[in-house]
Amino acid sequence: MKFVRILAAGLAAAVVATPVLAQSCLQPTERTAMEVRALQSQLMVAALSCNQTDQYNAFVTRNQRDLSDAYKSVTAHFKRVHGNVQGQRQLDNYITQLANAQSQDGIGQGSTFCQNVAPLFKQALAQPNLATLASLSSQSNVVIPYSLDTCTGAPVREAAPATTRRARARARTASR
């Protein structure tokens, strides 16, 4: 019984000590980015498992800018929600979980995985932009091991740290 009280007190202290940095939901652009990253991960697993590296390389080359934008948006989400240091750890964990989830999905499909995923390469190469890639991911039920609701309302903007605000104010004053 004493252990339960100590554990409860420790959890309460952790909750109190953990600052809420930002809204813990996905902005619409972050949701799109998560879908695209999941699709990319699915195609990467398929490339490695099904000897489809040429198709994967074509997909990455064709969509380089959109894939980069998606990665930046996913990174921004984790840093917005968890802060810079913890956000990077959470991002790293998410990328690992994503690859593991895609691999497990392939293993679960067994010998039909390569046959099932082959059309996805052709469909992905036919998509003209980030939004349609995300739509393809969603329609294809690509596994995403991360679930948050999409935010409603205006996007959340983090307040600038006090030191940054002070530095800008000093710069404005100095330039007068």
Cα separation, 176 vs 81, in Å, equals: 37
Residue 32 belongs to some domain of the structure: yes
Q: Is residue 121 part of a domain?
A: yes
In a domain, 157, yes or no: yes
Token pair belonging to 86: 């913890």
Name the strand (E) or helix (H) holding 118: helix 113-126
- Domains in the chain, number: 1
Instruction: State which amino acid sits at residue 33.
Output: A
Percentage of residues of the chain with pLDDT beyond 90: 64
Residue 11 lies in a domain: no
Higher pLDDT, 152 or 62: 62
Query: Looking at the predicted structure, is the pLDDT value of residue 40 above 60?
Result: yes
Q: For 5-24, what is the mean pLDDT?
A: 42
Q: For residues 19 and 143, is the Cβ–Cβ distance under 8 A?
A: no
Evaluate if residue 6 carries a pLDDT over 60.
Answer: no
- pLDDT tier for residue 146 given thresholds of 50, 70 and 90: confident
Report the pLDDT value the prediction gives residue 23, as an integer from 0 to 100. Answer: 58
Expressed as residue numbers, the domain containing 104 is 23-174
Q: CA 69 to CA 66: how far, in whole Å?
A: 5
pLDDT for 145 equals 85
Lowest average pLDDT, out of 7-11, 72-76, 84-88, 91-95, goes to 7-11
Tokens encoding 119: 């059309």
Q: Is the pLDDT of residue 9 over 50?
A: no
Q: What is the mean pLDDT of the chain?
A: 79
For 113: left if phi > 0, alpha if psi spans -120 to 50, otherwise beta; the answer is alpha
Could you tell me if residue 168 is inside a domain?
yes
Residue 7 lies in a domain: no
State pTM to two decimals: 0.72
